[in-house]
Structure 1
Amino acid sequence: MHLLAYIIVYPLLWIISIQPFRILYFISDMVFVLVYHIIGYRKKVVTENLKLVFPEKSEKDILAIRKKFYKHMCDMFLEMAKTMTISRKALQKRFILKNPEAFKEIEKGDKSILLMFGHYASWEWVLELQNQTSLPGFGVYKKLNNKYFDRLVRNIRAKYNTTLITTKETVSTINHNEAKGLKSVIAFLSDQSPRLSKDVYWGEFMGIEVPCFTGAERIAKKLDLTIAFLKVNKVKRGYYESEFILLSENPKEFPDYELTDMFLREVEKQIYEAPEYYFWTHKRFKHRNKKPTK
């Protein structure tokens, strides 16, 4: 079944990817009508999330944000397909790093860089940062169940000199590189909801107490990595700007979970500025009110 799904879906993705952007966004507009007005994909989840984190907003404002979000989401998924065939020159034009000098300055140090960012604006095109550094790039991801699509995603990233690794492979990969005297950039998406466990860290996100991923912070401390945040903003349709923000070159100096909280505050700032570009279909707040009592 996995192979059959790949055989059916891959040609469609490729055909979409070779379209010029004006056609791509025309397709996105049609997909929006299907997903938002006809199917109503996860509308209830998105609405509940928005009402939860913006209790002060009116029903009209919530619905306006929701509609803008779905339009952006459709654009973003079509842009993901476009990544299959987009040229480096085109991607470099559409995803800009505003302060490359800050990235270069940190790159001069003697440590690898752990780069954290959230599901905001465009996380797919972050791979363009590979053109801003001479260091090898690694993206930490969850392996896809369909091995054919998993291989496709890996191959697309490899085209931009980025290697995908699972969470379990992260420490061994960094240690292997360090043993060879190689520095690297390791990218983490860290704003999703982890599985509940008795020792999970509960922090505040958008004013709500939720369990939080702490893997990036723990790895940065264990291996003494420079830790930074990548802020991504959507400028207009199909164009994004990013900004490199240093969190710490010495993560071991920070109390446990402080760096995780710093990361969450940066993600919050983005959401408050333009909430329609956050990925609201995630059930980020599903474990609220489930914190075990001592």
Structure 2
Amino acid sequence: MKEMTYRTITSRKRNLFLGLFCLCLLIDGCVREDTGNCSRYSLSVKVVDTEGNDITASGVVSSVTFYLFNENGFVQIIPQEPSAVFVWQKDKDKSLTLVAWGNLKTDSLKVPQLAVGTSLEAACVELLQRTNGSYLPSTDLFYGKLELSEADTRSDPGGTNVTLSLQRMASAISIRTSSFREHFGETQSGENCRIIVRDAGNALNFLGRTTGNAAGYEPDVREDSEGDFYASNFYVFPTEEDSSLAIDIYRGDERLFTTTTDEEGEPLQAPAGKQLNVTIDFAHARAKVTVTVSPWQQAGQQTEM
């Protein structure tokens, strides 16, 4: 990367998704003042669900952060302007990658300060950790990646329209017990029951993969009038295909129950953009773990026990 500058064109519309991001990519021999040999891109951003349906108008994404990479790694963060012209001087036969994160909030996520040259794999968004060692739940995080190759950067006076799709990366989990009091007896005053979900990674890299160290989530837990406990709709980083979650139930410092599988022996997995619903029934000699996976639109529905 020889040189990179940008200039901003003001726009009356401040809505991120109604505005267009216009990209000018310079080939060798271009000069900053003369962009006649550049390819102009009008970049639009949309938000989609796991089925590919456009949900941009729902407003689930409130902010987007853009990171630019080339073949040597990270280049820079792109300013969040609804309509802007960005000019890069790049060598021929080199590609650019634009990575976007939606709802990248610092109250529960460690937003990276990337050094120039950091690779997509090494660049990570991480969960914040509490003083007791557990991790804060994720925000409703979205991710998208767009490749711009040499084949795309040919001179085109009319410009090229490209779209970057943001897809939900967070997974929602809801856990509840049944017949807890009958099986374990009364919970004494001062004894706290805790549910811990562990073993998913504590980071997402810029390729959209869960990585890092095993995270332990400790969601807020409520007790109903029957002595059962539930944790409703907390967000975690998704599990990869070759990994799974573990669920522990504690009363005080005593671990009363743990599982890594459902009733059928299948590993507990939290898919991106879906809700994992887990019911642990202690009415039987052996606890019965029932698991369902729901569409995301049901993740916000809280059912009192």
TM-score range, shorter chain: under 0.3
Query: What TM-score comes out, normalization by structure 2 length?
Result: 0.23
Query: 1 or 2, which has the higher strand percentage?
Result: 2
Query: 1 or 2, which has the higher helix percentage?
Result: 1
Q: Higher relative contact order by CA 8 Å / sep ≥ 6: 1 or 2?
A: 1
Query: What TM-score comes out, normalization by structure 1 length?
Result: 0.24
Greater CA radius of gyration, 1 or 2? 2
